[in-house]
Structure 1
Amino acid sequence: MSKPSFVSSSERNLSPVSIQSLRPSYIREVANAGMHNKDVIAFWFGESTYATPTQISDKAISAITSGETFYTQNLGLPQLRQELSSYISKLHGHTEPDKIAVTSAGVSAIMLAAQSVMEKGDKVVALVPLWPNIVEIPKILGCQVECVSLNFNGGSWGLDLDLLLTALTPDVKAVLINSPNNPTGWTMSRAEQISLVEHCRKHNIWIISDEVYERLHYESEEPASPSFIDITDRNERIICINSFSKSWLMTGWRLGWIVAPTDIVINLEKLIEYNTSCAPAFIQLAGVEALKHSEKDVAEFRSKLRQSRDFLVTELSSILQEPIASPQGAMYLFFPSPSQDGSLSFCKRLVSESGLGLAPGLAFGSDADKFLRWCYACERTKLEEGLERFQKFLNR
């Protein structure tokens, strides 16, 4: 009887080297240096200190006690997909449930979207600075990622649209956009979206748009920031990603969704089966509750964020003696580091010497190494104490 043969990963054309080459989470690296210390005031992660609204938590508890602990459909409970259809249609125009897939978190949605349209060797373009997960996921699939940077001029972030369109040549498979943007707060305008869509139509380029912060915008009283869903047909090469994490204060619940063409959703059903099978039923039912009865909570959270943003911008401008760019959306202040050191080493010193946790700009790309990110989704008293520690650190 012959012995089983074992084929090395290199012989199978797999590349563990490509996985090893993924950049680590520098935010986690800073956090790991201080999470054990209860005296550290942390602003490094992208989550609020406010708890999930009570009615959402109560719905999940009720669902568990009533036995909603079994598998669901891969694409999500019909009840949640229908509720998402109504919610999206109200914000952005008619969207059928069969264009929607429920996912186990927004980051899972990004991976699933990438798996749906990307193959090894594909070229994709990412608009940076950008949450590192979005940039690294295509690399896991063996794609080549080219980055186009936002401009930082006059104390604000902006898009050089011509530069982006020039990078989107016919050999590009997809462009990755996050608006409102993490970490800068930059928000893509409707005119910029229209120009991008027209260009991508011409060259058959997919647009993968992370819109998880669409409800957290400050420049208008519109219920949401501009979305690609507003201006495109549902069967175009547009995949929009969203999540319950930010606007509904549900980061730990891990529930998201995708809006995509029908043929993509059909493939997503298979991909979800082989990734997570489904999101937990009781969490999906909590999502239904959030969509039905938490609009007031979303509006109140956005109001709190606007106040925190304005306070932090004013105080940091005074401390640093220079204008600080006021973000248009999301929940972060991305500002120039006062140190000549790299942002990672500066943030580690800040944690160890002052008990203050910020995210290093390096986490969002090498071009952002001279910046720091401060998440302001918290109470005023926490911001005040953080600013006091920051000032004392700089004085030393």
Structure 2
Amino acid sequence: MKINPFKLERYFAIYEFTAKYLLSPSDCESLPMEQLLKGADEESLKLWKDLKLGYTESRGHPILREEITKLYHNINVDDVITIVPEEGIFIAMNAILEEGDHVIVVDPIYQSLSEIPKSLGCSVTNWTVKLKDHRWSLDIDFLEKSICEKTKMIIVNFPHNPTGYLPTKEEFSKIIEIAKKHDLYLFSDEMYWLLEHREGEGLPSAGDTYEKGISLFGLSKTFSLPGLRLGWLVTQDKALMDKIANFKDYTTICGSASSEVLGIMALRQKETILKKNRERILDNKASAKDFFKRYNELFTWIEPRGGSIAFPKLSEKIKVVEFCDRVVKDKSIMILPGETFDYDGNHFRIGLGRENFKQILKELEAYIIEEIKNYY
């Protein structure tokens, strides 16, 4: 297998642990261990106290998988396998795709969702999220027109990274209908699921709704626990689940014993964790909107509808890569340029889930005021 460098991850590798301020993380403020343990129920605390750091069940702790099923309607424990989220993408693609297959991928997207199919010898059609009437949108008709005899899979990500785009329930239903009509797999990266910005706009999970749907979810973004490296795949396709489980034997084999118990605790505190994260995201989004509109000759703000990210646009007077490079060198503020998603248009990603977001905006504002003559 030959695979290209992961642009986003390589960019983060340079600055994530050296820059003073990070404006672009996509996860929500990480939970302290003390807080997670404080909110845990009696059974979870006993599991933690009695924990032995041995090998674990390959498909995941039975209690953890039972807790995961409570997020869905049509999923049972045999439809769930725990994985590291990136691992889930890798093994699902390898279990399904073969050289010569064709896939349709929402674009821009987390690079592995398009890069792994390419590395397997698949042809890839980009289904691009575009600006229409100052809102992000997808052309559903383009999806159907792009399907050919060799198409095997549609790959989506909602809420969308990096734009925060969220289709309507009707649009998502149409995507599923198209997948059913053509008997295609639907791989749905749902890492920002449950972080919709308006009540009632949440989408159903693809794996819960469609027999050939595969959903990826986990604790890194929505649940503020990226350090656990814990996620899962769900699908009602029993034969596919067996293939995925077989492939996992060649990657991690099984999960971390401590992460599984902490994951049980987190899922049992779902409402508390989600409420706090949604409130912080909406508060930070309001601050971002005010900030970018205050400097509307330099930035264009495009409202996200879900997730913990947004994708504003920088004025064409300066290239976004140059801007991001100057800001991190002069003010130690890391900003992720859209080029790391292979996306043209002078956009950059911001993360709305962190506690210090407003402070970083103040630092960025001070820099803009200092350098204003260089931008207008």
TM-score (norm 2): 0.89
Partner Cα distance (1:221, 1:134) in 2:
28
Preserved CA contact (<8 Å) 1:53 1:249: no
Q: Quote the offset at 1:197 in angstroms.
A: 1.7
Which of 308, 311, 314 matches 1:337? 314
Aligned pairs (5 A) from 1:196-345: 196-221=175-200, 224-229=202-207, 231-232=209-210, 236-260=211-235, 261-321=237-297, 324-345=301-322
Preserved CA contact (<8 Å) 1:359 1:372: yes
Preserved CA contact (<8 Å) 1:69 1:282: yes
Partner Cα distance (2:291, 2:146) in 1:
38
Structure 1 pair 392/146, CA: closer, same or farther in 2 (3 Å)? farther
Structure 1 pair 338/393, CA: closer, same or farther in 2 (3 Å)? farther
In structure 1, the residue matched to 2:367 is: 389
In structure 2, the residue matched to 1:162 is: 141
% identity of equivalent residues: 23
Tell me the alpha carbon deviations over residues 83-132 of structure 1, each in whole angstroms, 9 at most, x when there is no partner: 111232xxxx231111111112x211111211121112221111112122
SS at structure 1 position matched to 2:152:
strand
Which of 73, 79, 83 matches 1:103? 83
SS at structure 2 position matched to 1:247:
coil
Structure 1 pair 150/217, CA: closer, same or farther in 2 (3 Å)? same
Structure 1, 254-263 or 42-51: larger mean CA deviation: 42-51
2:154 is the counterpart of 1:175: yes
SS at structure 2 position matched to 1:119:
coil
Tell me the alpha carbon deviations over residues 37-91 of structure 1, each in whole angstroms, 9 at most, x when there is no partner: 5xx3112332234434635357799766634311111110111111111232xxx
Structure 1, 59-68 or 117-126: larger mean CA deviation: 59-68
2:47 is the counterpart of 1:68: no
**Structure 2 unaligned blocks of 5 or more:** none
Tell me the alpha carbon deviations over residues 256-283 of structure 1, each in whole angstroms, 9 at most, x when there is no partner: 0111121111122211111101111111
Preserved CA contact (<8 Å) 2:102 2:122: yes
Structure 1 pair 138/56, CA: closer, same or farther in 2 (3 Å)? farther
Tell me the alpha carbon deviations over residues 17-50 of structure 1, each in whole angstroms, 9 at most, x when there is no partner: x42xx1441463365157435xx31123322344
Preserved CA contact (<8 Å) 1:170 1:204: no
In structure 2, the residue matched to 1:3 is: none
SS at structure 2 position matched to 1:131:
coil
2:47 is the counterpart of 1:51: no
Partner Cα distance (2:258, 2:12) in 1:
34
Which of 97, 111, 119 matches 2:98? 119
Return the letter of the residue paired with 1:142: G
Preserved CA contact (<8 Å) 2:169 2:203: no
Partner Cα distance (1:211, 1:387) in 2:
33
Return the letter of the residue paired with 1:137: I
In structure 2, the residue matched to 1:25 is: 7
TM-score (norm 1): 0.85
Return the letter of the residue paired with 2:220: S
SS at structure 2 position matched to 1:173:
strand
Q: Cα RMSD between the aligned structures?
A: 2.4
SS at structure 2 position matched to 1:275:
coil
Return the letter of the residue paired with 2:78: D
**Structure 1 unaligned blocks of 5 or more:** 1-14
Structure 1 pair 137/342, CA: closer, same or farther in 2 (3 Å)? farther
Aligned pairs (5 A) from 1:31-42: 32=14, 35-37=17-19, 40-42=20-22
Return the letter of the residue paired with 1:363: T
Partner Cα distance (1:110, 1:333) in 2:
23
Partner Cα distance (1:113, 1:226) in 2:
20
Preserved CA contact (<8 Å) 2:300 2:313: no
Return the letter of the residue paired with 2:189: D
Structure 1 pair 140/348, CA: closer, same or farther in 2 (3 Å)? same
Partner Cα distance (2:6, 2:222) in 1:
27
Partner Cα distance (1:272, 1:307) in 2:
40
Q: Quote the offset at 1:210 in angstroms.
A: 0.6
Partner Cα distance (1:83, 1:30) in 2:
32
Structure 1 pair 227/33, CA: closer, same or farther in 2 (3 Å)? closer
Preserved CA contact (<8 Å) 2:30 2:225: no
SS at structure 1 position matched to 2:312:
strand
Name the count of aligned residue pairs. 366
